[in-house]
Amino acid sequence: MDYRNLGASGLRVPILSFGAGTFGGSGPLFGAWGNTDAEEARRLVDICLEAGVNLFDTADVYSAGASEEVLGQAIRGRRDAVLISTKTALPMGEWPQDWGASRARLIRATEDALRRLGTDYIDLLQLHAFDASTPVEEVLSTLDGLVASGKVRYVGASNFAGWELMKSLAAAERHGYPRYVAHQVYYSLAGRDYEWELMPLGADQGVGALVWSPLAWGRLTGKIRRGQPLPAASRLHETAQYGPPVDDEKLFDIVDVLDAIAAETGRTVPQIAINWLLSRPTVSSVIIGARNGEQLRQNLGAVGWSLSKAQIERLDAVSAVTAPYPYFPYRRQEGFARLNPPIV
């Protein structure tokens, strides 16, 4: 397993990390992902650690805290061997104090996460979404206090727009608060919007990407193809409405190229899709998930080898889409591109 620094920080993370969204799964979304209990979770953690994957990502909103609880049980007795990433800010209840990133909410959410995880510190605490109702200075000063207390080591964001992330980074710089070193983002061959603004911002500001849903919400598993119905076991039957939108015809074109490269390399479609992401700028780690050991070992096979330059170019070409304004002139017109050449 290779390791990369998380953004401009000194925290070294594995290029693959494990997403614990299936742990303790319940409800219409997380229940469809899986329902891994503590015993099976411990086996999955064993497999990860044997492969060098020591970063485990969760969130308080995953199954109303059950994911954090199961992860805490799975790592019991080996806390020093793992890195824990968790997220907060999304609603955990119906009352106003149950959502957002106010000082009161962040302090309470962190204390609750520590209790559920059975630990006294969190390696990476990320805001799951931008809270427009709370001043960024209040958010950052609270995170500063949590870092100073030793309860949090590093801070990051997730699902921020470019201006939201940049505003937060500027305020942190101005006041001397901890800067976000990570941005957990959706990025896949079937969803490359991250490249328009957030990737250049991350490269400029030293914010590393932690990629969620690298298989496009289960669409790049190799089981979904043109002219065929969804497999009966696909979680898309229950969860498609919650995930990022994907153009079906574009998806099938991408899968055709993935199939061809799979035949050339002897690798699986998911392994190729994940490996492509690891070649992209600013990507610090790709978060993989699994319901069982066999699926996990398959996903771990995405590392230890490289796609050829020609294969990457074919995947780039088939997955490319026209950038929205104001980005498309910088891709299409020489004068614009000379001023601001793309980093990919």
Active site positions, annotated: 62
How open is the CA angle 121-20-296, to the nearest 5 degrees?
130
**Tokens linked to 62:** 């995953």
For the chain, how many residues are written? 344
How many other β-carbons are positioned within 10 Å of the β-carbon of residue 18? 32
Contact present, 256 and 182 (Cβ < 8 Å): no
How many Cβ atoms are within 10 Å of 125's Cβ, its own excluded? 26
Distance CA 342, CA 170 (A): 23
The sign of the dihedral angle between the CA atoms of 317, 321, 324, 328 is positive
d(CA 330, CA 87): 34
Closest by alpha carbon to 157, among 167, 165, 149?
Answer: 165
What lies within 8 Å, CB to CB, of 324 at 6+ separation is 196
